[in-house]
Structure formats: structure tokens, C-alpha cells
Amino acid sequence: MNELQNKIGYHFNNFDLLKEALTHSSYANEHKSKHIKYNERLEFLGDAVLSIVVSDYIFKHCPELPEGELTKLRASLVCEKSLYAFAKSINLGKYIILSKGERNNGGSDRPSILSDAFEALIAAIYIDGGIEPVSKHILNFIIPAIKNSKKKRINDYKTTLQEIIQKNPGEQIEYVLVGESGPDHNKHFVVEVHLNSNVIGKGGGKSKKEAEQQAAREALELMGY
């Protein structure tokens, strides 16, 4: 338990909350005890706390995204797949208290069990320390995930546009640098994307690559994608 607390950078005032967050229902059922608290109720609260912290962060730090994209981004960050990855990154399965049968059947690596325990841990931190430490804990996982998500979205624009154009034999796209401004340490580039010499998109960025991606993004939007 101390090892886990060191990993997450939070030490509990009420140690029972941490134990409850890590106790799976199978353990309570195995021991047939009404006095053993397991993590399902904490998971319910943790889900809500996670959602509000993530929503608040992406609302403030992703001003370029419209409501629909914010919803998609939040959904991708709080889904079982993401929570499972977060839990695996701190080896949470090692600390979950399971029945012998559940552990022997691979419960400590089951996505549903790990993601639920991750949410329960969020609730335990929130109850024990309030919104500030739980926000810090959540953002330790969320911020890197958002950065990776942004990279994937940007990298997809040119590839997607190329794949669409390739469906029409004989058509070619070309990226043309049409503007460059600013000092060396803070350049701004403007690029047009041409389809058979016709401008179909224009974009700007701090690098030529970023400007090309934004030009491809505009082209995709104009084409209805």
C-alpha cells in the first residue's frame, strides 16, 4: 500500500479509504462478510469526479475544439480502454484485493476490474483530500494522453487527404509555401494545398509541417469530411 501511495504521489489520511478502493467484490463474497467494504460505490463517485476534472481541463486548454469534438475527446479519455492503460502504467493490478479464484483467473489484469479500481481510487483521494489533490492525480494521466491524442489528430489530416485523392486516378495534390514571417525563434508559415493546381485548403503554423497539416485539415472540411 505504501508502495502504491509513493507511485501516485498521494498519502492517505484515512488508510481505510485506500483499502476499500482496492477491494474487489469477489473478495467480500469469498469471505461472506457484510463488514468488508468493496469498491463499487467508490467507483460510482470516481466516475463523476473523473468526468468533471477532465471536462474542466479540456474546456480550458483546448479552446480550438467545438462542443462535439470536446465530447469525443472526453469520451476517449474516460473510456475503459484508457483507464485500463492508466491503471497498467502504475501496475494497479498488483495491489487489488481479489478472491483467490478471481486472481487465479487473471482478474488482476482484467480491463473491467482495473478500470473500476482506477475510478475507485480517484473517489478515495477525493474524499480523503478534496478536489485539488485528486485533480493533480487525474491530470498526471490525462495531460500526456491529450498530447498523444493531438499528435494523432494532426498526423491524420495529410494521410486522410492523400487516401481520398488516391481514389481518383490522375489527380495530384501539392503543398505550396506561400508565406513566411516572424523572427527565427518564432516563425509563422502559411501553406496552400493544391489539387491539380487549384487551391483546396490553406493553413498556418509554427513549422512547415504544421502549416501543411492545417491546410489539409481545411481541405478535408471543405470536402465535407
Active-site amino acid positions = 47, 119
Which grid coordinates belong to 188? 509563422
d(CA 109, CA 160): 35
- At 80, list the grid cell: 475503459
Per the structure block, which three cell numbers stand in for 173?
495534390
Taking Cα atoms as reference points, which of 152, 155, 149, 162 lies closest to residue 213? 155
Q: Where are the beta strands (DSSP E) in the chain?
A: 173-181, 188-195, 198-205
C-alpha cell at 202: 490553406
Across the strands, what pairs with 198? Answer: 195
Residue 132: all three cell numbers together? 485539488
- Whether residue 21 contacts residue 5, with contact meaning beta carbons closer than 8 Å, is answered with no
**How far apart, in Å, do the first and last CA atoms of the chain sit?**
49
